[in-house]
A and B are shown apart, each in its own frame.
Chain A
Amino acid sequence: MVDKSLELFDCGHRACGGCGPALLARLILKGAGEDTIIVASTGCMEVFSTPYPETAWKVPWIHSLFENAAAVASGVEASLKHNNRTEKVICICGDGATFDIGMLCISGAFERGHDITYICYDNEAYMNTGIQRSGATPYDASTTTSPAGRLSMGNSRPKKDLPQILNAHGASYVATASVAYPMDVMKKVEKAVNTPGACYLQVHAPCSTGWGFDGSKTIEIGKQAIECGLWVNYEMENGELTKAKKVRRVPVEGYLKAQKRFRHLFKPQPVTEEIAKIQAIADANAVKYGIDIQLNE
C-alpha cells in the first residue's frame, strides 16, 4: 500500500480554479506513490504544471510532444526493465492526445504490452488551445470548432468508445473513473500500476473554463454526469466487464443545464428532440453497463 498522505503534486501551479485535471494529478500520485515516473503530453496539464523553471511534480516527469507519450513511456519502461529498476511508468494525457493524435503510439504501446499505465484525463475537448472538439467531446457540446449555430447543435458525433478499443488490444485492466469520486480514482490507479502489462484509465475531469461552470462546482458536475448515466464508472479485467457503479438515474437535463457548452439546447427554448437523443445515449449506457439500481435492490 502506498502512503496516501504524501502530496507529490505540489500547489502553486497555474490551473484555473476548480480544474478537474489538476485535482486528478494529485489523486494519481496519491494512488501511485513516489516510485513513479510520469510521461505527459502537450496540453493544459503540462502547461499549468511546468512553466520553466518551475514544476509542480515531485516525481520524475517528462514531456516530449502532443502525440507520443505512449511511445516515450514505452522507451522509459524498456530502459527500466533493462536495468532491473522498479519505478512505475504512468502516462497522463488529455483526451485530444489520447483519442485523436496519440492513437498510433497508444495502439503500438498496448499491442506490445509494455508495463505502463496510461491515464487519460478526459475534459472532453482540447482545452489548452481554446476548447476545440476532440473524439471525446460529447454529442451536442458546443466547442470552438463545433460551435452551436443556426445550422448546428454543436458537436455532431458521439464520444468515441476508447476503453473498448484498448480492451480489444488485450489490455488486462481497463477502467473509467471520475474526479468526483477521489477514493475510487486512487484505488484504480493503484490497481492499474500494480497490474502487469499496459493498463488504461479514463478519468472524467470536469473543466470549469471549457464546459462553462463555476470552479466551485467541479465535483458536483462530475457527480451529475454519473447520476444521469452520461458517464459510467466501470472496470474491465482481462476483457470482461467486472464492475460498474450503479445509480438511481436522473434525467440528463440537470447535468446539461448546469454547463454553458449545452446552453443552446435550452435557450431560447428547449430543443426537446436533441435532449431526447442525449437521454438515449444515457439510456444505452445504462443498458450496456447495467447501472440502473432496480426497485428490489
Chain B
Amino acid sequence: MLQIMEGSHAVAEAAKLCRPEVVSAYPITPQTHIVERLADFVADGELDAEYICVESELSALSVCLGSSATGSRVYSATSSQGLMLMAEVVFNVAGMRQPIVMSIANRALGAPLSIWNDQQDSISLRDAGWFHLYGEDVQEMTDQHFIAYKAAEQHDVLLPGFVCFDGFILSHTYEPVDIPTQEEIDAFLPPYVPYNKLDAKAPLSMGMYATPDYYMEFRYETDAALQRAGDAISAAGKEFGEMFGRDYSTHTESYRMDDADVAFVALGSICGTVKDAIDEMRADGIKAGLVKIRTLRPFPAEEIAKALAGVPTVAVLEKNISLGSAMKGAVGPEVKDAVTGTGIDVYSYIVGLGGRDIRKKDIRGIAALAEKGKGNMFYGLRTEVL
C-alpha cells in the first residue's frame, strides 16, 4: 500500500524492518530525521535494538564495527562532514569484512560550509571497499536498504555498503512509497548469520596487522569480494523484484536509449529531471537518452558499455568534483574507460554542487555543448561573481 512519507522516515522504516540489533549514529543535517525516527522506534518498543548515542561519527561507525564483529546486524547513517570524520573507520570496516549497511544522505563538503546536496561525500570514499548504491527516488532508496543487507551478508561477499540518496531533495521530500510489511521483509532477509565472530567459546583474532608478505593478498581478496558483491546485488535485486514487483536486477537503468544521439549518465535524484528534459528534447527532435547508474561500486563497466553502445556522445552529470583532475568529475573517467576503443566521446559536466538547482534547460544546454565537443567543465557558474 502506498503511503505519503518523508524520505528520511521511509529510510528509517526500512532500517527498522531489517531488524538491526545495534544502531549507532550521530546527528548531521540532512541525515538527522532518520536517526531521530529510529530513536522513536526504540523508545516505543517498535524496534528491539541497542540504540547507542555516541559523541561523534568516529565512534558511531566504530561501535557498529564492534557490534558487527560480535555477530550483530547493525545500522548507521551519516552525511558529509560526518562521513569524513568516519573515514578511517570506513576503510577499516571493509578491510575487516564487516557487512555494515550505512545510509548516506548526500551533502557537500566544506569549506565553504554547505548543508546542501551534492555527492562529494560518498564519491570521495569510493575506493574504500564498500559497495555504493544510489537511489533516484524515495521508493528506490528505501528498497535499496533491503537489497544492501541481503547482498552484504552473503558469505562470499561480507562487505559493507552505502545506500546513498540526495540530501534534502530526497531525504526531506514527501513521496508516495510502498513500505513492505515485517513478514515480507523477514521472508526476504533472513537473520544475519556471521561467518565468524568474537566469541569466548571459539577465540580468534580479528584486525591483525599484515606484513608485505600478506597485505597485497588481503587487498586482492577484498576487491574480488567487491566484484562478487555486484552479482549479489543483482541477485538480491531480482529476488526483490519477484517478491515486490520492483526489479533491481541491473546496476543501471536505461531511459529512451534506443537510437539516442546523446546520452546522459547520472546518479540519484537528478535522473528525474533528466528524464523530463529528455522527453521535451525528444519532442523537439533531439534524440537524447539516459543511463542511470544505481551501483557505482563495483563499477558496472560492462553494463554501461552495453547501454552506451552506438551512441556517439555521452555527457556525464557529476555532483562531485575530483579537484585537479583532467575531466573534473570522478565518474566521467570510469565511463570513458568503460567505452574505450569504441570512439564514443565522453565528457563530464560539474553541476549542482552545494545544492545549486539543476533545471531542465541546464540539461538541454549540456546536451548542446556535448554535441559540439565541449565538456569537462563546470556548468551553470555565476560568472559575475568569479
Apart from the given pairs A72-B69, A79-B68, 8 other A-B contacts in the complex at a CB distance below 8 Å: A36-B200, A62-B207, A63-B209, A71-B59, A75-B70, A78-B22, A80-B70, A104-B56
CB distance from A7 to the nearest CB of B (A): 13
A217 to nearest B CB, angstroms? 29
Name the interface residues of B199-258: CB closer than 8 Å to any CB of A: 199-200, 202-211, 214
B25 at interface (Cβ–Cβ under 8 A)?
Answer: no
Shortest C-beta distance, A101 to chain B (Å), equals: 10
Contact of A82 among B24, B49, B204, B211 (CB under 8 A): B49
Contacts of A53 in B (CB 8 A): 208, 214
Q: Does B18 make an interface contact (CB < 8 A)?
A: no
Contact residue among A36, A50, A64 (Cβ-Cβ distance under 8 Å from B62): A64
Q: Is the CB of B198 within 8 A of A64?
A: no
Task: Let me know if B65 and A72 touch, CB within 8 A.
Answer: yes
Does chain A have a CB within 8 A of B50? yes
Identity of the chain B residue whose Cβ is nearest the Cβ of A114 in the assembled complex: B52
Q: List 8 A-B contacts (CB under 8 A).
A: A57-B205, A59-B203, A63-B209, A64-B65, A70-B59, A74-B62, A75-B63, A79-B70
Q: Is the CB of B58 within 8 A of A82?
A: no
Complex: A20 Cα to B167 Cα, angstroms: 51
Question: Which of B88-96, B155-163, B168-176, B356-364 contacts the other chain?
Answer: B88-96
* Inter-chain contact A108/B72, CB cutoff 8 Å: no
Is B338 close to A, CB under 8 A?
no
Q: Judge if B38 is at the interface, Cβ distance under 8 Å.
A: no
Contact of A62 with B66 in the complex, beta carbons under 8 Å: yes
Q: Is the CB of B66 within 8 A of A50?
A: no
Q: Find residues 74-120 in chain A having any chain B CB closer than 8 Å to their own CB.
A: 74-83, 87, 104-105, 107-109, 111-112
A36 to B55, CA, bound (A): 26
Number of A-B pairs whose CB atoms are under 8 Å? 157
Query: Is B339 close to A, CB under 8 A?
Result: no
Shortest CB–CB separation between residue B200 and chain A, in angstroms? 5
CB pair B66 A79 closer than 8 Å: yes
Q: Which residues of B contact A34 (CB under 8 A)?
A: 200
Closest to A61 in B: B205
Q: Are A82 and B62 in contact (CB under 8 A)?
A: no
Q: Is the CB–CB distance between B207 and A112 below 8 Å?
A: no
Contact A60 B203 (CB under 8 A): yes
Interchain CB contact under 8 A, A81 and B58: no
A87 to B50, CA, bound (A): 17
Report the nearest B residue to A86, measured CB to CB: B200
Instruction: Report Cα–Cα, A290/B356, bound state, in Å.
Output: 66
Contact of B178 with A by CB under 8 A: no
In the assembled complex, A35 has its CB within 8 A of some CB on chain B: yes
Given contacts A62-B69, A79-B67, contact A108 B22 (CB under 8 A): no
Closest Cβ–Cβ distance, residue A112 to chain B (whole Å): 7
Asked if A68 CB lies within 8 Å of chain B CBs, one says yes
The answer to whether B200 touches A59, judged by C-beta atoms less than 8 angstroms apart, is: yes
Which residues of chain B are near A72, meaning CB under 8 Å? 62-63, 65-66, 69
What are the residues of chain B within 8 A of A68 when measuring CB–CB?
A: 58-59, 62, 65, 89
Interface size on A, residues (CB 8 A): 46
Identity of the chain B residue whose Cβ is nearest the Cβ of A108 in the assembled complex: B55
Contacts A74-B66, A76-B70, A79-B22 given; does A112 touch B53 at CB 8 Å: yes
0/1 interface trace, chain A 44-60, chain B, CB 8 Å (1 if under): 00110011110101111
Task: Verify if B280 is at the interface (C-beta below 8 Å from A).
Answer: no
Cβ-defined partner of A60 (8 Å) among B49, B96, B199, B211: B199
Contacts of A81 in B (CB 8 A): 50
Residues of A at under 8 Å CB distance from B?
Answer: 34-37, 39-40, 46-47, 50-53, 55, 57-65, 67-68, 70-83, 87, 104-105, 107-109, 111-112
A52 and B54 CA atoms in complex are apart in Å by 31
CA distance A57 to B207 in the complex (A): 13
C-alpha gap A245/B205 in the complex (Å): 36
Q: Report the nearest B residue to A67, measured CB to CB.
A: B58
- Complex Cα spacing A77 to B65, Å: 12
Residues in A whose Cβ lies below 8 Å from that of B59: 68, 70-71, 74, 104-105, 108-109
A73 and B69 CA atoms in complex are apart in Å by: 10
Residue pair A50, B89 in contact (C-beta under 8 Å): no
Is there an interface contact between A37 and B198, defined as CB atoms closer than 8 Å? Answer: yes
A55 near B205 (CB under 8 angstroms)?
A: yes
Tell me, rounded to whole Å, the shortest Cβ–Cβ distance linking A273 to chain B.
42
Contacts of A67 in B (CB 8 A): 58
Chain A residues, CB < 8 A from B71: 79, 83
CA distance A62 to B60 in the complex (A): 17
Bound together, the chains give a CA A73 to CA B59 distance in angstroms of 10
The winner among B54, B64, B65, B207 for most chain A CB atoms within 10 A is B207
Of A46, A47, A112, which one neighbours B52 at CB under 8 angstroms? A112
Which of B56, B60, B66, B209 contacts A76, CB < 8 Å? B66
Residue B345 CB within 8 A of the other chain: no
Is B21 an interface position by the 8 A CB rule? yes
From residue B225, how far is it (CB to closest CB) to chain A in Å? 17
- CB pair A55–B208 under 8 Å, yes or no, is yes
Assembled-state Cα–Cα distance A69/B12 (Å): 28
A63 CA to B74 CA, complexed, in Å: 19
Per-residue interface assignment for chain B, residues 74 to 107, with 1 indicating a CB less than 8 Å from any chain A CB and 0 otherwise: 1000000000000011001000100000000000
Among candidates B50, B58, B64, B72, residue contacting A105 with C-beta atoms closer than 8 Å: B58
Contact across chains for A50 and B205 when beta carbons are under 8 A apart: yes
Instruction: Kindly list chain A residues whose C-beta atoms are within 8 Å of the C-beta of B200.
Output: 34-37, 59-60, 87
Per the bound structure, the CA–CA distance linking A138 and B92 in Å amounts to 33
A79 touches B55 (CB 8 A): no
- CB-CB under 8 A from B21, the residues of chain A are 79, 82-83
Cβ–Cβ < 8 Å partners of B49 in chain A: 82
A36 to B53, CA, bound (A): 25
Q: Once the chains are docked, how many angstroms separate the CA of A215 from the CA of B66?
A: 35
A85 CB → nearest B CB, Å: 8
